Amino acid sequence: MSECVIPTLTSMEVVESKSVLPDGWKADLSNLKGLDLTQPVLELMRRTTSRLPQDVIDALVKGRDAEEEGSRAFNTLNDMVRNILLADGNVTPLCQDTGTVIFFVRHPYGLSQRAAKKQIRAAVVQATKNVWLRPNCVEAISGKNTGTNMDPFHEGHPVLHFEEWDRPEIEIAVMLKGGGCENVGAQYRLPDATIGAGRDIKGVRKCIIDAVVKAQGQGCSPGILGVAIGGDRVTSYEKSKELILRKLGTAHADPKMDAFEKEVTNDLNTLGIGPMGYGGNTTALGVHVEEMYRHPASFFVSISYMCWSSRRRVMTISSTGEVSFD
């Protein structure tokens, strides 16, 4: 029987003391043309690669404590918690796969997306040199690794989504999306006779259950699922990924959808797949669903599966230049 680990991450004072940003660093958002995001984004990477968000840790601990002590499921979840504490304490990656690096940048009018892209790419190159990121960017056919996490042809990696908004602050969210869990994502076109799924919410439920049954423990369960209903093939998948950024335990704005999310999560946890597929009650930590508009002829259900090592973080640079991380 393994010793039960009660997780306590290093204090914020310790995290701050290791920051790559100079003490009291502030941005000048009145001069967006002169703004350099390289260092703050590098600090964002440092905090993301080694430290899981508290809501994910809480969900893993809750899952562990709900398993029978000494069972494979209990021990596996306990090892995940140990892993979390080691990575945080040593500022080392939580998993050997540091994933595809995906950014969502929201910014006020006046920020040059071209300049921001260059700076974010420079931060990713530096994070790779610092071994906070594994070089995960290889040529599709040859498999040749660029060694820098850069896609030199189409600048497709890191993945960058930009959106201008009316607010004065800059918000940069990052997600490190593991390759194993990306492989078990799925897109369904309803109706789908193979799983008996029609164009309704029951059909959506069947898609979710089918995707998780097919994944079994691959993709490193317990998983967090982003599910987009509608859209086209691309926007649907994009939305499903973005949904993984939502904190676990936060309610859906639509009470009906909220009830559906909870019901499907419970259903998944009766499948017996468990952590890493070793059996148990903890197969999914959460399911986040959004409905989109669609073409009348198409009904897509896109499912992005995020592994237990759900590394995500949001950096905000306020209108007065202070930087914060959540």
Q: Rule CB under 6 A: which residues touch ligand SF4?
A: 95, 97, 99, 178-181, 219-220, 307, 309
Report strand pairing: 100-107 vs 223-229: unpaired
Minimum CB separation from ligand SF4 for residue 273, in Å? 15
Minimum CB separation from ligand SF4 for residue 184, in Å? 9
Closer of 178 and 203 to ligand SF4 (Cβ): 178
Token pair listed for 109:
């009018």
SS3 97: coil
Question: How many angstroms separate the CA atoms of 111 and 199, rounded?
Answer: 42
Buried b (16+ CB within 10 A) or exposed e, 222-238: bbbbbbbbbbeeebbbb
β-pair partners for 314: 173
Radius of gyration of the chain, Cα coordinates, nearest whole angstrom: 20
Minimum CB separation from ligand SF4 for residue 304, in Å? 12
Closest CA to 275 of 59, 53, 100, 52: 59
Residue with smallest beta-carbon separation from ligand SF4: 178
Minimum CB separation from ligand SF4 for residue 80, in Å? 9
Minimum CB separation from ligand SF4 for residue 178, in Å? 2
Minimum CB separation from ligand SF4 for residue 133, in Å? 12
Question: How many angstroms separate the CA atoms of 144 and 125, rounded?
Answer: 17
Kindly report the number of other CB atoms within 10 A of residue 166's CB atom: 6
Please count the residues of the chain.
326
Nearest-5° angle of CA 194, CA 303, CA 144?
A: 105
SS3 71: coil
Closer of 8 and 96 to ligand SF4 (Cβ): 96
Token pair listed for 104:
């969502």
Closer of 281 and 309 to ligand SF4 (Cβ): 309
Minimum CB separation from ligand SF4 for residue 24, in Å? 35
Minimum CB separation from ligand SF4 for residue 134, in Å? 10
Closer of 40 and 93 to ligand SF4 (Cβ): 93
Closer of 126 and 136 to ligand SF4 (Cβ): 136
Minimum CB separation from ligand SF4 for residue 174, in Å? 14
Per the omega criterion (within 30 degrees of 0), is the bond before 40 cis? no
Kindly report the number of other CB atoms within 10 A of residue 167's CB atom: 12
Q: Which helix (H) or strand (E) holds 286?
A: strand 284-291
Closer of 97 and 169 to ligand SF4 (Cβ): 97
Phi-psi region of 24 (alpha: psi -120 to 50; beta: other; left: phi over 0): left
Question: How many angstroms separate the CA atoms of 183 and 260, rounded?
Answer: 25
- Cα 98 to chain centroid distance, Å, stands at 11
